[in-house]
C-alpha cells in the first residue's frame, strides 16, 4: 500500500480540490468488487479509447470484456491479482496482473502479464499509475516471476512512455481486437532481477 502526496481528486471522473490520499488495495473476490471493476473497467476503457474506435466495435468489446460475471471469474482466479486505487473511498484506477500468461515475444521462464492498468482521466499524470505498477511488480516478485510483460496499442504514446520509464522495452507485437477491428499492440517486457526497478526521470 502506498500513501500518496497527491492533492486532488475524489473519483475516476471527478477531481476534487481538497487534499486526499490515494490508497491502493487488493481487490477481493466479492460481488461488490466484481461489480466495481466491471463498471470501472468499462468506463475507463471507453473514456480512454472510445473516441478512437467505431461505436459498434467499442460496444462489442465492452460487452465481451466487462460484466460482473467476467470480473468475478477474474477475481476468483488464483493466477490473477487486481488492485483498486481509491481516493476518499472512491475508485480512481485499477490494475490486473496474470501469472503464467505468455506471449511469443517474451522469452522469460515464468512471466506475468500486466493485463490492464487504467486511471481516471482526472488523475492522469498524478502518480496513481506508478502506485499500481509498484503493486503489480511486487506481486510478480512474490510469485517468483522473472518478467512482467504487456501489450500496448501502438497509437498510445503516453502509456508507452509511462512503461518505458519503468524499464519496459519493446520486444515484439501482437494483435488486439476491439469489436471487429484488429489493432496492432507493441509487446513490452520488463525483466525482474534482484534489484528493485525504479521509475526513471522523476
Ligand X SMILES: CC(C)(COP(=O)(O)OP(=O)(O)OC[C@H]1O[C@@H](n2cnc3c(N)ncnc32)[C@H](O)[C@@H]1OP(=O)(O)O)[C@@H](O)C(=O)NCCC(=O)NCCS
Residues of the shown chain interacting with ligand X in the complex, contacts defined by CB under 6 A: 48, 117-119, 123-130, 152, 156, 158-159, 161-162, 165, 201
Beta strand 147-153 pairing with 111-119: parallel
| Nearest-CB residue for ligand X | 129
72/126 with CB nearer ligand X: 126
123/149 with CB nearer ligand X: 123
16/29 with CB nearer ligand X: 16
29/170 with CB nearer ligand X: 170
Any residues with CB less than 8 A from the CB of 59 and at least 6 apart, and which?
Answer: 179
Cell output for 3: 500513501
29/176 with CB nearer ligand X: 176
154/191 with CB nearer ligand X: 154
Q: How far apart are CA 74 and CA 28, in angstroms?
A: 10
Q: For the CB of residue 141, give the shortest distance to ligand X in the complex, in Å.
A: 19
Q: For the CB of residue 100, give the shortest distance to ligand X in the complex, in Å.
A: 20
Q: For the CB of residue 29, give the shortest distance to ligand X in the complex, in Å.
A: 24
Interior angle at CA 107, CA 102 and CA 110, nearest 5 = 60
Task: 131-134: list long-range contacts, CB under 8 Å, 24+ apart.
Answer: 131/2, 131/4, 131/22, 131/24, 131/85, 132/24, 132/83, 132/85, 132/93, 132/94, 132/95, 133/95, 133/166, 133/199, 134/2, 134/24
Q: For the CB of residue 31, give the shortest distance to ligand X in the complex, in Å.
A: 25
Interior angle at CA 159, CA 154 and CA 164, nearest 5 = 95
Q: For the CB of residue 202, give the shortest distance to ligand X in the complex, in Å.
A: 7
Q: For the CB of residue 124, give the shortest distance to ligand X in the complex, in Å.
A: 3
Amino acid at each position: 500500500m502506498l500513501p500518496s502526496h497527491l492533492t486532488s481528486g475524489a473519483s475516476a471522473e471527478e477531481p476534487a480540490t481538497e487534499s486526499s490520499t490515494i490508497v491502493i488495495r487488493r481487490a477481493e473476490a466479492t460481488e461488490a468488487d466484481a461489480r466495481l471493476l466491471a463498471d470501472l473497467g468499462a468506463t475507463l476503457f471507453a473514456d480512454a479509447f472510445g473516441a478512437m474506435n467505431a461505436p459498434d466495435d467499442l460496444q462489442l468489446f465492452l460487452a465481451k470484456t466487462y460484466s460482473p460475471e467476467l470480473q468475478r471469474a477474474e477475481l476468483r482466479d488464483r493466477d490473477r491479482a487486481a488492485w483498486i486505487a481509491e481516493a476518499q473511498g472512491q475508485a480512481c484506477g485499477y490494475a490486473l496482473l496474470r501469472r503464467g500468461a505468455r506471449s511469443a515475444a517474451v522469452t522469460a521462464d515464468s512471466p506475468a502479464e500486466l493485463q490492464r492498468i487504467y486511471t481516471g482521466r482526472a488523475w492522469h499524470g498524478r502518480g496513481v499509475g506508478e502506485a499500481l505498477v509498484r503493486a503489480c511488480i511486487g506481486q510478480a516478485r512474490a510469485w517468483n516471476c522473472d518478467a512482467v510483460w504487456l501489450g500496448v496499442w501502438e497509437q498510445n504514446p503516453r502509456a508507452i512512455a509511462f512503461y518505458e520509464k519503468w524499464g519496459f522495452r519493446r520486444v515484439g507485437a501482437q494483435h488486439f481486437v476491439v469489436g471487429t477491428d484488429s489493432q496492432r499492440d507493441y509487446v513490452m517486457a520488463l525483466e525482474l532481477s534482484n534489484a528493485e526497478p525504479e521509475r526513471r526521470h522523476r
